[in-house]
Structure 1
Amino acid sequence: MKLFSSDAMVDIFSWAQESLKHSDKITFEVLNPDIRQGWYAGEKITLDGITYLYRSYKALSDLGELLFCRMLTPKPLSEHTVAITYEKLDLSDSFHHAVLSEEKYGTDSSFARVHKNEEPAFLSAYLRALKSVRVGERLRILNLGINTGEEFDLIRRILPHDQYMNLSLVGIDHSHSAISVAREQFKEGNATFYVHDINDLVSLSLGRFDLIITIGTLQSSTLEFKPLFMSLVQEYLTKEGSLILGFPNCRWMDGEMIYGAKAPNYPYSEMSILIKDIYYCKKYLQQKKFRVTVTGKEYLFLTATKIQ
């Protein structure tokens, strides 16, 4: 087993990349990160005459993610070292590769296995956005691309029951099976769900809303991004209404949420389109006198509230 003691991270990275060309699983030996707390990656420590460069478990986990691997549970090898094992992800095991259809995101799809609220990076950013717009005060809430209702479920969990029951929730999605699940899970009487084409909201006569939420939906290839976004602000938002727009900056594959969205014609994550769309929305909303923030990492949340 290869020992990396005082080797630079670039050497470990290069070795791992080359080794993964020939194997689905690699193991190497490094300094046990639990030896010290509060040390930064690359700081030197000498133990029993051997000089090591310190790296935290977070740094080692990040390296695995960049290599499209999952990091297995480290195993102690000696008083000062552990074995780190990376296992290649099955990149074909992803809903992103599914053929576009009404049930690509249905209950029998790979997407149905994804539970975003259980991923801390998503949960933290979404919670921040909900608190920023004072969700409990937004009596009418619209969610486009609601799927089985996970984004409404978090609202239900964080609000007192009486306050939650004062809300009127409307969710829209094109998946019949997902909406069937949502209707089953939200029987309190304050939520309405539609199986409908988001391009044709006008036929539903929805009225206006105090909060509009759409996460991972507006950039769908089946939607006209800019016209739909502008119509939401102009025709469906109340005068003092707020928005939460979630832009995916990740891929879901083989049980993992991997940072960085795949861009067309690039073999790696390239963020130009994502940044352009967020900037367009931010600039448009600021011109309409909204206060706009952008937070998050794997999902970037644009939150807009009216300037009083």
Structure 2
Amino acid sequence: MNDLPDFSAAPLHQILDYFDNDSKNETPINFLIADPDLCRGYYAGERIDRNGQKLICRSWKAWVDLASHLGYRLLTPERYDKTRLRLTFESVTRERSFHTDNESDKYSSRSPFARIHKNEESAYYLPYFQALKRLEIFHRPRILALGVNRGDELEPILRFNPEAKVTGIDLDADALALAQKRFGPALTTHCLDLNRLEELDLGRYELILSIGTLQSPGIDMKPLMMELVQKHLTQKGALLLGWPNARWIDGELLYGARPKNYPFSELSLVIKDLFWIKKYLQQHKYRVVITGREYLFLEATKIGLSRKA
């Protein structure tokens, strides 16, 4: 215990240097920190004196964020003495992730992706549900869901708007079957490539929803967006679109999406897509807002029209 690194009074750059130089990143790393409960109301880096001991404050959120950014999970802390806790960072196993699967079955009902329940992650669910409320989902009876998979994003919609009718489109027939069984007659499904929507007689909808789909490499996003707005939205219709800005690895939701061939989070392509869509929708007299963090959500509603159908 006496050999534990003591970070209770260490500045952040010293802590980062330790992790950069540590060669045991596949085994849990134990160290001492100042008890965050003693630091309530203090900002990260503020110095306090407790029981004659000099401490540098950091909140629990600061330690959780550090673990996530470095690729670790934070285990349950243990009391070391009156002012310090023993903290353990355990390395996240990057091989345990659906991101490493083959593209052909990456999102299938038999893949690691099927273990993910986005609605149980507050970083995803809270901004998503808040967006649904701002879009007055209760007053949107016809909904088009693109890339619906097993329909997780439909659960809060149909829970609060049980009279809604949803058309769901996806390429994975097994996932669509699960969604159909889950939501019954409220959901009509089509197994189809989103680039071929013109093959369906879809009509128009009060809400078009697509979460984590538009960034897929096989989708021609710009013509798809133009087709959706011009042919499939009602006059009072709205859009809710989502892009992942995180990775699901070994049971953890880690902030920051990583494109292929990049060892770090890189947002330029997502930002480019978001602002192209925002500009296009604004040209068509939509009010557009972008929210979220681990998932980025774009909401669009028609300017000057009531959202109630």
Q: Which segments of 5 or more consecutive residues in structure 1 lack a partner in the other structure?
A: none
Q: Residue 110 of structure 1: CA displacement? A: 0.7
Letter in 1 for 2:162: Y
Separation in 2 of the partners of 1:233 and 1:20?
A: 53
How far 1:5 moved relative to its partner? 2.6
Q: How does 1:84-103 map to 2 (within 5 A)?
A: 84-101=87-104, 103=105
Query: What CA distance in whole angstroms lies between the structure 2 residues aligned with 1:4 and 1:186?
Result: 51
> 1:91 Cα shift?
0.8
1:164 alignment counterpart:
162
Give 1:270's match in structure 2, choosing from 266, 269, 273. Answer: 266
CA displacement at 1:154 relative to structure 2:
1.2
Task: Please state if 1:240 is matched with 2:236.
Answer: yes
Does structure 1 conserve the Cα–Cα contact (< 8 Å) formed by 2:35 and 2:85? Answer: yes
Partners of 1:3 and 1:305 in 2: how far apart? Answer: 53
**8 A Cα contact 1:290 1:307, kept in partner:** yes
Task: Tell me the SS of whatever aligns to 1:186.
Answer: helix
Match of 1:173 in 2: 170
Which amino acid in the other structure matches residue 164 of structure 1?
P
Moved more, 79-88 or 32-41: 32-41
The 3-state SS of whatever aligns with 2:99 is helix
Unaligned runs of 5+ in 2: 305-309
Partner of 1:123: 125
1:6-35 CA-partner distances (Å, limit 9, x unpaired): 210111112023215554221100111112
Q: Is the 8 A contact 2:8 2:84 kept in 1?
A: no
After TM superposition, the score normalised by the length of structure 1 is: 0.95
Q: Which amino acid aligns with 1:200?
A: R
Q: Distance in 2 between matches of 1:227 and 1:20?
A: 49
Q: Which amino acid aligns with 1:83?
A: R
Alignment match of 2:59 (pick from 49, 56, 60): 56
Aligned pair partner of 2:253 in 252, 257, 260? 257
Is this contact kept in 2: 1:20–1:26, CA < 8 A? no
Letter in 2 for 1:142: L
Q: Give deviations 1:213-237, integer Å, cap 9, x for gaps.
A: 0010011011111111111111111
Contact 1:5 1:50 in 2 (8 A): no
Return the offset for 1:151. 0.8
The answer to whether the 8 A contact 1:40-1:54 is kept is yes
Cα distance in structure 1, aligned partners of 2:63 and 2:180: 42
In the alignment, does 2:66 pair up with 1:27?
A: no
C-alpha contact 1:32 1:82 (8 A) present in aligned 2: yes
Name the aligned partner's letter for residue 99 of structure 1: N
Q: 1:224 aligns with which of 216, 220, 225?
A: 220
CA distance in 1, matches of 2:254, 2:102: 21
* RMSD between aligned residues: 1.2
Question: SS of the counterpart of 1:16?
Answer: helix
Deviation at 1:266, TM superposition (A): 2.4
Q: Compared with structure 1, are the counterparts of its residues 61 and 22 closer, same or farther at alpha carbon in structure 2 (3 Å cutoff)?
A: closer
Summarize deviations over 1:185-217 as a string: whole Å, max 9, x none.
112x22211222111111111111110000100
**Alpha carbons of structure 1 residues 235 and 64: separation in structure 2 relative to 1, 3 Å:** same
The aligned length equals 301
- Opposite residue 168 of structure 1, the aligned amino acid is K
Percent sequence identity over aligned pairs: 44
**C-alpha contact (below 8 Å) 2:207/2:238 kept by paired residues:** yes
